[in-house]
Amino acid sequence: TNPNYVNIVEVGPRDGLQNEKAVIPPSLKAELVTRLGRAGLKTIEAGSFVSPKWVPQMAGTPEVLTTMEHLPGNHYPVLVPNMKGLENLFALLANENPPTRTHASLQPAPPLPAAPPLTDEIAIFAAATDAFSKANTNCTVAESLERLAPVAESALKHGLRVRGYVSVVVVCPYTGRVDAAKVKDVSRALLDMGCYEVSLGDTVGAGTPSDIRALLVTLMSGAHAISASKLAAHFHDTYGAGVANVLAALDLGLRTVDAAVGGLGGCPYSPGATGNVSTEDVLYALCGPGSIYETPGDLDALAEIGGWISSTLGRRNESRAGKAILAR
């Protein structure tokens, strides 16, 4: 495989839509996931099993998972904050088991081609500061890690992959600049629970390439160093440094980037923060002529989707590359 292949984790249907005020029907979200899959993306976050009182917009996730198109080999992770969310996911997965087709008096039917599971992956999420952790999940960082350990253990036992998130890796909206050592501790704890990767969230979107470099150097060196292959970049684009920050992370060896089509989104517990760096902008920067990088996804198709979902939701298309492509 190409060492410069950059996997894209499309978070538009989850991070992008969780903050919308108007209720979005699950059928529209399922269509979004389906279109993103057909545009060639391999990992698409489909929703969250969080409390509907906290994030009403994600309440329809079971319906999204059961109605969207599942492409074989793709991953459709969902966020899970606690055991209750994992139990709800397990209940859904159990209901979806195909009924047995063998009639007592007949030879057993040949096995059906295995249907892809509704999902094979969860994402658990923690933060680098107590203030953000309390706002987002109603508990301190230490309490959240205690709460998440059995979630990861049980998910792994059931054969699911587990991804971890750390929020507010550069700046916390409540307490200001964040100590990189704290980000390292929380990342390490998530990896020790069995997460295959930790995605570093610049939730506020205030980081600069220098911030990202300094953060990654701290994480990737010294005691308990974390290798680049276990880290992903999850940068919101509030100040327009998203693509530059992604490039800084790639320079330091990361090869997984979270992005949202149309630059959708914002975190409900990070006031003023805008959406993730847009998938179209990332692909444009990484896949131009002469680039060493390779990514999944068809840029023109993604630009179409970014334009479609933005106008459907009545919001501005936040992707610079997407708008330029649509204007050609």
Size of the site for ligand HMG (CB under 6 A): 27
Select from 203, 274, 317, 319 the one that contacts ligand HMG (CB under 6 A): 203
Contact call for residue 45 and Mg ion (CB under 5 A): no
Select from 54, 90, 174, 308 the one that contacts ligand HMG (CB under 6 A): 54
Contact call for residue 43 and ligand HMG (CB under 6 A): no
Which one, 15 or 130, has the nearer CB to Mg ion? 15
From the candidates 139, 172, 195, 267, give the one annotated as an active-site residue.
Answer: 267
Residues 239-298 interacting with ligand HMG (rule: CB under 6 A): 267-268
Contact assessment for residue 5 and residue 255, using Cβ atoms and an 8 Å cutoff: yes
Contact call for residue 15 and Mg ion (CB under 5 A): yes
- Specify whether 195 is catalytic: no
Site pattern 164..183 for ligand HMG (x: CB under 6 A): -x-x----------------
Contact call for residue 210 and ligand HMG (CB under 6 A): no
Among the listed ranges 68-76, 84-92, 278-286, 305-313, the one in contact with ligand HMG (CB under 6 A) is 84-92
Contact call for residue 76 and ligand HMG (CB under 6 A): no
Site pattern 71..110 for Mg ion (x: CB under 5 A): ----------------------------------------
Among the listed ranges 35-43, 81-89, 244-252, 279-287, the one in contact with ligand HMG (CB under 6 A) is 81-89
Which one, 15 or 281, has the nearer CB to ligand HMG? 15
HEC string of the chain? CCCCECEEEECHHHHHCCCCCCCCCHHHHHHHHHHHHHCCCCEECCEECCCCCCCHHHCCHHHHHHHCCCCCCCECCEECCCHHHHHHHHHHHHHCCCCCCCCCCCCCCCCCCCCCCCCCEEEEEEECCHHHHHHHHCCCHHHHHHHHHHHHHHHHHCCCEEEEEEECCCEECCCEECCHHHHHHHHHHHHHCCCCEEEEEECCCCCCHHHHHHHHHHHHCCCCCCCHHHEEEEEECCCCCHHHHHHHHHHCCCCEEEEEHHHCCCCCCCCCCCCECEHHHHHHHHHCCCCCCECCCCHHHHHHHHHHHHHHHCCCCCCHHHHHHHCC
Residues that bind Mg ion (CB under 5 A): 15
Question: Which residues are known to be catalytic?
Answer: 267
Residues that bind ligand HMG (CB under 6 A): 15, 18, 48-51, 53-55, 79, 81-82, 84-85, 88, 125, 136-138, 165, 167, 201, 203, 234, 236, 267-268
